[in-house]
Chains A and B, each alone.
Chain A
Amino acid sequence: MDPDRDLVGELDRGAPGGLAEAYRRHGARVYRVCLRLLGRAPDAEDATQEVFLKLIEGASPFAGRARFSTWLYRVSVNHCLHRLEKERLRAAAGLGEELELADPGASPFDELARGEARSGLEDLLARLTGEHRAVLVLREIEELSYRDIAAVLELPVGTVMSRLARARGELVRLAHAREPGHPRTTPAVSTGPAAS
């Protein structure tokens, strides 16, 4: 049984405490997903609020086909992917800011002072496509099972498994590319092993 059944009822009725309770139970995970998908704290804070406001606006009505938490992950991921796509299109049109640098004039020390310095892994994650980032965030950060990831992304389990393998392969390729003098970025897609 869905442990959030009571919460869904409260949100449906528009009970004043419904939104606050939903945030108390799920705010941290929604924020974490938004932060890891979008990469910047201010964007994640904004996206988290937008996701929770959707609960009372009825913009993405909960149909009860999955657990509430699964559905909330789906709303969060879709919201962030949509936002990333909009940013990408804006950047491609030359209208947006540079995505990698919130403040091009800021030094790494400024970023440290704001607590926004990116670890190496965050940096690699930010270079992946939204699709790859989403599947890795759900698996490695949220620690969801393949089945739950499939439910969140509305994909077959087999697709989740192969997408995870490709996303990890891409992470490794990017990590190798950053190491000067690394012989090869990733194994070739061959029919047999290369000689050691």
Chain B
Amino acid sequence: MNTAPFACLDALEALSLRLDDELDGARARALDAHLVLCVECRAHARTLAEIGQGWAALRAVAPPPELGARLAHRAPRRRPTPVLLRVAAALIGFLGLGALVRALVAPPAAGDGHLFERLAVRGQPDEFFAAIPEYQLLRRSGAEDER
């Protein structure tokens, strides 16, 4: 059991714990012994008790009745993108990144130009997409499915 005399700082902590019913017996006795001797800590304890009586009034508040309706009014404008759309966007981004990485990493085949040359193919849109290897794979598998 710790019965060492309290310093004022210990007393302030102990007073705080006592307010919350968290002060054990030994520390409670040490605090009481300190309060008998220390006028400043007694004043502190008295003011703390007075302040404590004011909290109940601050608990008794309620939001204005129309706040829920105002929230509902604000909500639809800020609704997030539907999950399906987010998945589709992520998939497109992933495929595009894959194509880019592959084009950068793959060694140029005979007759193959640099990435920028391949991307800069002029002419029909189909020719532009044909420069992307994934597109060729997709077309090939589609043709096999048709057969």
| Chain A interface (Cβ < 8 Å from any Cβ of B) | 14, 19-20, 23-24, 27-28, 31-32, 35-36, 41, 44-45, 48-49, 52-53, 56-58, 119-122, 124-125, 139-141, 143, 146, 161-162, 164-165, 168-169, 171-172, 175-176, 183-184, 186-196
Interface residues on B, range: 35 or more
Interface assignment of B39: CB less than 8 Å from any CB of chain A: yes
Interface assignment of B111: CB less than 8 Å from any CB of chain A: no
Instruction: Give the interface SS of chain B, mostly helix, strand, loop or mixed.
Output: helix
Interface assignment of B110: CB less than 8 Å from any CB of chain A: no
- Which residues of chain A come closer than 8 Å to B34, judged between CB atoms? 193
Interface positions of B from 80 to 100, Cβ below 8 Å from A: 80, 82-83
Partner of B41, one of A45, A161, A187: A187
- Which residues of chain B come closer than 8 Å to A192, judged between CB atoms? 5, 7
- The CA-CA distance from A125 to B57 in the complex, in Å, is 13
Is A24 within 8 A of B68, CB to CB? yes
Interface assignment of B143: CB less than 8 Å from any CB of chain A: no
Q: Mark B58-77, 1 if CB is under 8 A from A, else 0.
A: 11011110011011101100
Chain B, residue nearest A168 (CB): B16
- Which residues of chain B come closer than 8 Å to A162, judged between CB atoms? 13
- The CA-CA distance from A32 to B58 in the complex, in Å, is 9
Is B51 within 8 A of A190, CB to CB? no
Chain B, residue nearest A179 (CB): B47
Partner of B51, one of A35, A165, A172, A188: A172
6 additional contacts, CB 8 Å, given A56-B80, A119-B57, A194-B8? A27-B68, A44-B63, A56-B78, A140-B55, A168-B48, A183-B43
- The CA-CA distance from A36 to B57 in the complex, in Å, is 12
Is B47 within 8 A of A176, CB to CB? yes
Is A122 within 8 A of B58, CB to CB? yes
- Which residues of chain B come closer than 8 Å to A140, judged between CB atoms? 52, 55, 58
- The CA-CA distance from A23 to B72 in the complex, in Å, is 10
- Which residues of chain B come closer than 8 Å to A49, judged between CB atoms? 67, 70-71, 74
Chain A, residue nearest B22 (CB): A146
| Chain B interface (Cβ < 8 Å from any Cβ of A) | 5-9, 11-13, 15-17, 19-20, 22, 34, 36-44, 47-48, 50-52, 54-55, 57-59, 61-64, 67-68, 70-72, 74-75, 78-80, 82-83
Instruction: Give the interface SS of chain A, mostly helix, strand, loop or mixed.
Output: helix
- Which residues of chain B come closer than 8 Å to A24, judged between CB atoms? 68
- Which residues of chain A come closer than 8 Å to B5, judged between CB atoms? 192-193
Partner of B8, one of A146, A161, A189: A189
Is A28 within 8 A of B62, CB to CB? yes
Contact A196/B67 with A119-B57, A189-B8 known, Cβ cut-off 8 Å: no
- Which residues of chain B come closer than 8 Å to A194, judged between CB atoms? 8, 37-40
- The CA-CA distance from A84 to B58 in the complex, in Å, is 20
- Rounded to whole Å, the gap between the CB of A136 and the closest CB of chain B is 9
Between-chain CB contacts (< 8 Å), 10 pairs: A36-B58, A49-B71, A52-B75, A57-B80, A164-B16, A165-B16, A183-B43, A187-B40, A189-B7, A194-B39
